[in-house]
């Protein structure tokens, strides 16, 4: 099955900084699936992207069946018998009977068993009174049952030909269970993307390296690799690249030849030592750079050949926020998933912002709180620095302040994006 590649043309915009919605629109327009398709066993399909619509080959359930243990009868016989029925048979789950229920009769039936012909209603055994008379079994079924009570109809869950899972769905346990209910053992999925992760900067130290003055340990690669682990990808850790143009160019060239996407941190700003942007412009195409958001302004998106390059800021919080807002959806789109904006929830602010810069969207680290009446509110982390990893540990999600909002008062409605919406657990 052929797949459309990136639009290999130079995208230029005449704005110094792109707004959040404009950046999302560019990603959505320019990214499409690049992965191949292969059948995947249901046992291995969790988190994978479904590549083809899955339809029900037959109704589910396949036949009318009992929802409880009890007695099946025809509601039309209710009045004629006065609720006193001879028991003419016994049907257990997995052992359907080809016999048609006699007029005026009832059968002992168990949960999941196929309801016999003519029967349309099931009485719970707890409500019934069994009797034996002259060696025959009878049952008294109380009045008041509605037609169809305690009966699951054929096709009640799925009709034959009904779509169970749309192409582009990231498979959860719920979808896997639904597919399994049709008898399928596998499902067609997109292959995992190959994603390279690297950090840039002479000041960056790898885990376990001796500390030296002026250096910082690299938290971005472990952070991004852990975030990518929630997606259907295969991650290659390319380590730390020195702040030298030739080193950055060489690493990007090699990574682009063998990976569907490259995720870098640092080197995406306008400084003399920020070489990722220059290398990207020389080696490929730049589709997006400089966003009107905080944190995360210097994020970039481009391509080298058919490999997508996503350049994130070097500050850990900014890198995290950009991943949650843009990278996660971009990777999923490349991997065949339908574009889905994570849901926001409107909550009352338990904080104040006296002044906010206009024309910039801000994403604050938010912590959920409850007032004395049990009303859920959200407060912001006390400090706003982009290097404060502590704020990511303590936050439940992101508070989104739009461009046109210039101040927030306590009690104002604000939009809150919980981390659970992007596949991450809360603290």
- Sheet containing 84-91, strands listed edge to edge, beginning at the edge strand earlier in sequence: 121-124, 70-73, 106-109, 84-91, 136-140, 129-133
Token look-up 């919080």 returns: 317
Q: Are strands 151-152 and 65-66 parallel, antiparallel or unpaired?
A: antiparallel
Query: Please, what is the angle between helix 245-258 and helix 276-283, to 10°?
Result: 50
Max CA-CA distance within the chain?
102
- Please tell me the distance from the alpha carbon of residue 171 to that of residue 187, in angstroms, as a whole number: 10
Task: Say which DSSP state 269 is in.
Answer: S
Q: Are strands 345-349 and 285-289 parallel, antiparallel or unpaired?
A: unpaired
Token look-up 């919605």 returns: 21
Query: Per-residue pLDDT tens for 368-403?
Result: 999 888 889 999 988 776 567 788 888 999 999 999
Per-residue model confidence (pLDDT) at position 267: 64
Per-residue model confidence (pLDDT) at position 274: 65
Pick the CATH number of 38-60+162-189 from 3.90.105.10, 3.40.30.10, 3.20.20.140, 3.40.50.11820: 3.90.105.10
Token look-up 């160019």 returns: 249
- Please tell me the distance from the alpha carbon of residue 240 to that of residue 120, in angstroms, as a whole number: 70
Per-residue model confidence (pLDDT) at position 14: 43
User: Ramachandran region of residue 112, left (φ > 0), alpha (ψ -120 to 50) or beta?
Assistant: left
Tell me the CATH number for domain 20-35+192-334.
3.40.980.10
Mention every residue, 6+ apart, whose C-beta is less than 8 A from residue 367.
378, 379, 380, 381, 394, 395, 396
Mention every residue, 6+ apart, whose C-beta is less than 8 A from residue 262.
195, 196, 198, 252, 255, 256, 304, 307, 308, 309, 310
Instruction: Evaluate the CA torsion angle 250, 273, 211, 198 in order and state its sign.
Output: negative
Task: Say which DSSP state 125 is in.
Answer: G
Return the structure tokens found at 386.
């982009």
C-alpha angle 162/163/168, rounded to 5°?
A: 175
Give the count of beta carbons closer than 10 Å to the beta carbon of residue 80.
Answer: 9
- Please tell me the distance from the alpha carbon of residue 172 to that of residue 47, in angstroms, as a whole number: 6
User: Are 274 and 268 a contacting pair, CB within 8 Å?
Assistant: yes
Return the structure tokens found at 363.
């994403």
Query: Do you find a cis peptide bond into 230, omega within 30 degrees of 0?
Result: no
- DSSP secondary structure, 200-263, as one string: E-TTEE-TTPPP-TT-EE--HHHHHHHHHTTSSEEEEEEEEE-S-HHHHHHHHHHHHHH-SEEE
Residue ranges in the chain whose pLDDT is less than 70? 1-15, 267-274, 385-387, 427
Return the structure tokens found at 150.
């305690």
Q: Does domain 65-152 have CATH number 2.170.190.11?
A: yes
Extents of the domains making up the chain: 20-35+192-334, 38-60+162-189, 65-152, 345-419
Return the structure tokens found at 425.
């657990």
Per-residue model confidence (pLDDT) at position 4: 45
User: Are 228 and 320 a contacting pair, CB within 8 Å?
Assistant: no
Of 107, 113, 73, 101, whose CA–CA distance to 89 is shortest? 107
Architecture per CATH, 345-419: Beta Barrel (2.40)
Q: List, in sequence order, the alpha helices (H) in 263-388.
A: 276-283, 316-322, 328-334
């Amino acid at each position: 099955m052929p797949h459309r590649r990136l639009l290999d043309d130079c995208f230029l915009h005449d704005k110094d900084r792109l707004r959040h919605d404009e950046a999302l629109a560019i990603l959505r327009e320019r990214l499409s699936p690049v992965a191949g398709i292969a059948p995947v066993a249901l046992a291995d399909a969790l988190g994978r992207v479904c590549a083809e619509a899955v339809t029900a080959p037959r109704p589910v359930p396949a036949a009318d069946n009992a929802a409880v243990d009890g007695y099946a009868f025809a509601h039309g016989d209710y009045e004629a018998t006065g609720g006193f029925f001879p028991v003419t048979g016994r049907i257990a789950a997995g052992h359907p009977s080809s016999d048609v229920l006699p007029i005026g009769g009832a059968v002992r039936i168990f949960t999941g068993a196929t309801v016999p012909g003519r029967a349309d209603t099931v009485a719970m055994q707890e409500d019934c009174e069994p009797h034996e008379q002259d060696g025959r079994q009878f049952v008294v079924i109380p009045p008041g049952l509605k037609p169809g009570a305690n009966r699951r109809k054929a096709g009640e869950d799925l009709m034959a030909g009904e779509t169970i899972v749309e192409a582009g769905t990231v498979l959860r346990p719920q979808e896997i269970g639904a597919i399994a209910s049709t008898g399928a053992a596998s499902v067609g999925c997109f292959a995992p993307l190959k994603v390279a992760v690297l950090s840039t900067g002479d000041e960056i130290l790898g885990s376990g390296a001796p500390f030296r003055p002026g250096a910082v340990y690299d938290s971005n690669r472990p952070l991004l690799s852990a975030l990518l682990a929630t997606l259907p990808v295969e991650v290659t850790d390319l380590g730390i690249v020195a702040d030298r143009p030739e080193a950055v160019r060489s690493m990007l060239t090699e990574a682009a030849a063998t990976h569907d996407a490259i995720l870098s941190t640092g080197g995406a700003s306008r400084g003399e030592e920020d070489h990722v942007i220059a290398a990207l412009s020389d080696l490929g195409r730049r589709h997006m750079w400089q966003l009107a958001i905080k944190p995360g302004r210097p994020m970039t998106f481009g391509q080298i050949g058919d490999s997508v390059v996503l350049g994130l800021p070097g500050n850990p919080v900014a890198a995290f926020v950009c991943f949650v807002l843009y990278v996660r959806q971009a990777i999923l789109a490349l991997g065949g998933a339908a574009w889905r904006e994570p849901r926001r929830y409107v909550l009352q602010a338990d904080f104040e912002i006296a002044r906010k810069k206009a024309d910039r969207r801000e994403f604050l680290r938010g912590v959920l709180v409850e007032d004395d009446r049990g009303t859920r509110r959200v407060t912001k982390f006390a400090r706003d620095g982009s290097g404060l990893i502590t704020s990511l540990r303590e936050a439940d999600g992101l508070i989104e302040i739009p461009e046109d909002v210039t101040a927030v008062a306590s009690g104002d409605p604000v939009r809150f994006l919980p981390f659970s919406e992007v596949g991450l657990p809360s603290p």
